Amino acid sequence: MHTTTVNKIPASFTGSALLALLLFILAQGASAQSAWYKSNCPRSQKQAGVWYFGEKAGIDFRTGTATPLVDQNVMNALQATSSICDSMGNFQFFTDGRTVWDRTFTAMPNATKLDGYIGVTQPCLIVPWPGDSSLYYVFTVDMIKYDPYDSTKYTTKGLAVTVIDMKLRNGLGDAVSAMLNKPLLSPVCQKITAVSSNDSRGIWVIAHKWESNDFYAYLLTKEGMAAPVVSSVGSIHAADTKLARNNAVGYMKCAPNGKKIALAITYDRIIEVFDFNNETGKVSNPKSYHVTKPLISPYGIEFSPDCKKLYATAFDYLGGTMPRKPSCIYQFDISNGLNNPLIVDSVAGIRLAGMQLGTDGRIYISRTNDILFKKRDSLEVIYNPNRPGNACNFNLLNNTPGSSFPLLGRKSIYSVPNFVQSYLNVPPFTWDSVCQGDVTAFHITNKANIRVDSLTWDFGDGTTSGVFEPMHQYASAGTYTVKLIQKFNGQTFIDSVSVTNYPLPHLNLSDTVLLYKGSSINLHAGGGFTDYLWQTNSNDPGINGSNDSIVKVDSLGSYWVHVKDIHCCVNSDTTYVKVFQYYIPNAFSPNGDGLNDSFGMTGLYKNINFSMIVYDRWGRLVFQSDRFDRRWDGTAGGQVCPPDSYVWIVNVAFKGQDIITNGDIVFKGTVTIVR
């Protein structure tokens, strides 16, 4: 056995290449700001929006409705593949575990000899590098190859990893030479899956060691790949005969919410489910089911979107061209462990194999006769996998039997794509405009087998609606339990989700701010917001469009700021900056009559360091003060100063950062004593 730890920056990322990488990341962040008129964050979990698999088959889910694709003619995959979009649904690349093709369906030059073997159940898995939108891992699994003269000896490249850098080839991507086919673990079973960590800052990639009951969970973070967490639990995957080598075969999947792992051990005909701690990476609490129907073995594995049910396919894995027994689809209620499964359907003449949940909330199932006679050009579909028993509507859409998904002449064979399962953690309905005062629009994720006249929404605030996809305005911010109540064929199904209507960001700019001529002042919008946009009625380019919590202004006018918080809720506030109306007289009459008996400056800001000096016409100092409330009474050294003109100088320095200057503000002038 060997293991490898992958560091954050590959060896090739040094010097100018590393600088280019950092600059590219910064540029991406700067260009990702949303328009200011929007008050809700765009949903950005569309990595599983495009599927390429099987014999040139494809599906596009990005519009919310599955649409078959016939645009690629380069890949013929027998088993699972992997494809990836970025978080906003822009397609990146796909692979069969041996070759990586870019979005133009051209093989990446340095990624045509990966170590995945296309005959294994799950030969590959693409995983984005957390925190870096330009880097991706491609994990591959190799076939266990036995010595024909000694069945106890075998060779395999096992689990390996390659890094794809999307900055290469002008954004089409290629494998990083220093990170090509790096070995991680050998020997391994034909299983690999992945799910996000509980804080969503990392991704767990899980493999199973051969001739062992060890799970290896590798945590990927922005720093790179950590050493694996090993859990020894459940059945030993091993072989004591030639045919028993097929115990390496079968799918492994994480539940979309990251709390369970399930797998199939094909030859021993075992299905197992485990608890998964997506904080620590530990696997525990095994439960198993043994398929008792003769001549069929478990293969495909998938969880329902609500993670309450587990599905498995079982078919005649070792038979000839035509299967000897019908394929079965099992449904398990996970709350009962794996006891008393229901057989959703039993299909003769074909092999139901790989299973994959789509972003539309439906489970798609590959089907074929065998590898040589692949005559099936459609996918079977479980349309409502959250519903129990036959209510899950296998190949039944709007009471029409046989409603499979067409591939337009393309074939799946045993193949469906392999994804980070968190990308399929889709709620039963989505909503937008989640900010106080917004009208919230609700959208049903899976519209299959829902009757419009038998649907009710409960918004959790005492109001309901019978509209298929309603709009609702909450009277106040808060968290509400929203229920979608559906009735179909005499049964009632309820989906509930907590929906938060967020308060708007709090801003508290002063209505009016005073400013001395010759100084500047800082306007504070407050910290903790994701975006700031300052505007003014002037043409000052240093202010208009400024994306900072503080701006410096030095002229009068109206200034306003728009802020956006982490929920993409937007608020704004305005302040008016005007010049201080301070007053300095040009004459005074210190005669004791109570009128204009002293000289000083009035209207000054109080949080200042102040000094004032007065000279006579010959430059002799006659008065000085460091307090702006201490005024000159027209005397010097206890003697009355004669009527004349006197020169005064005032220095002002601001103590705080509310008003900032490049130095002291200096006021100068003359004042006349009148007696």
Mean pLDDT of 318-338: 90
- What average pLDDT does the segment 373-398 reach? 90
Query: What integer pLDDT is reported at residue 40 of this predicted model?
Result: 58
Q: Rounded mean pLDDT of 277-296?
A: 96
Q: Quick one: what percent of the chain has pLDDT higher than 90?
A: 67
Who wins on pLDDT, 511 or 372?
511
pLDDT-based confidence at residue 657 (cuts at 50, 70, 90): low
Please indicate whether residue 86 or residue 605 has the higher confidence score (pLDDT).
Answer: 86
Q: Are 15 and 38 in contact (CB under 8 A)?
A: no
Provide the whole-model pTM: 0.79
Provide mean pLDDT across the span 156-176.
96
Those residues with Cβ within 8 angstroms of residue 187's Cβ, 6 or more apart along the chain or in another chain:
144, 154, 156, 158, 209, 210, 211
Question: Which domains are delineated in the chain?
Answer: 45-424 (2.130.10.10), 429-501 (2.60.40.10), 512-579 (2.60.40.10), 587-673 (2.60.40)
Instruction: Give 405-437 pLDDT, tens digit per residue.
Output: 999 999 999 999 999 999 999 899 999 888 999
- Of 197-211, 542-556, 642-656, give the lowest mean pLDDT range: 542-556
Question: What is the rounded distance in angstroms from the CA atom of residue 201 to the CA atom of residue 562?
Answer: 29
pLDDT in tens, 137-146: 999 999 888 7
**Strand ranges in 566-644 using DSSP code E only, listed in sequence order:** 570-579, 587-588, 608-615, 621-625, 635-636, 639-640
User: What is the reported pLDDT for 31?
Assistant: 30
Between CA 508 and CA 573 the distance in angstroms is 7
Strand segments (E) across 283-350: 283-290, 297-303, 309-315, 327-333, 342-347
Q: What is the mean pLDDT of residues 79-87?
A: 96
Q: Which of 37-46, 239-248, 263-272 has the highest mean pLDDT?
A: 263-272
Residue found under tokens 């728009």: 562
**Bridge partners for 663 per DSSP:** none
- Alpha-carbon Rg for the chain in angstroms: 36
pLDDT of amino acid 322: 84
**Per-residue pLDDT, 41:** 67
For position 30, what pLDDT does the model report? 31
Strand order in the sheet with 520-524: 550-553, 520-524, 659-660
Q: pLDDT: is 152 or 455 the higher one?
A: 455
Q: Who has greater pLDDT, 28 or 651?
A: 651
> What pLDDT score was predicted for residue 42?
60
Is pLDDT above 80 for 570? yes
- Mean pLDDT, range 374-386, rounded to an integer: 88
- What distance in Å separates the CA atoms of residue 327 and residue 325, rounded to the nearest whole number? 6
Q: What is the mean pLDDT of residues 569-588?
A: 87
The pLDDT value recorded for residue 304 is 98
* β-bridge pairing 203-209 and 212-221: antiparallel
| 139 close to 124: Cβ distance less than 8 angstroms | yes
| Nearest-angstrom CA–CA distance, 341 and 563 | 53
Q: Does the pLDDT of residue 18 top 90, yes or no?
A: no
With 50 as the cut, is the pLDDT of residue 4 above it?
A: no
- For residues 174-203, average pLDDT: 95
pLDDT over 80 at 276, yes or no: yes
Inter-CA distances, 539 with 314, 542, 543, 555, Å: 70, 9, 8, 12
Handedness of CA 73, 76, 79, 85 (dihedral sign): negative
**Which one is predicted more confidently, 212 or 18?**
212
Q: Is the pLDDT of residue 152 over 70?
A: no
Percent of the chain with pLDDT over 70: 89
Give Cα separations from 653 to 129, 232, 352 (angstroms). Answer: 51, 70, 81
* Residue 505, phi then psi, degrees to nearest 5: -55, 140
Q: Are strands 150-155 and 182-185 parallel, antiparallel or unpaired?
A: unpaired
Mean pLDDT along residues 25-50: 54
Residue that wins the pLDDT comparison between 242 and 523: 523
Q: Which residue from 82, 84, 88 is spatially nearest to 46, judged by alpha carbons?
A: 88
Average pLDDT over the chain reads: 88
453 by DSSP, 3-state: which? helix
Q: Which residue in 474, 393, 503, 484 sits closest to 430, CA to CA?
A: 484
Query: What DSSP string runs through 368-381?
Result: ES-SS-----EEEE
pLDDT of residue 27: 32
pLDDT band at 600 (very low <50, low <70, confident <90, very high): very high
Structure tokens at 76: 């013929």
Say if residue 187 is preceded by a cis peptide, omega within 30 of 0.
Answer: yes
Average pLDDT over residues 584-596: 91
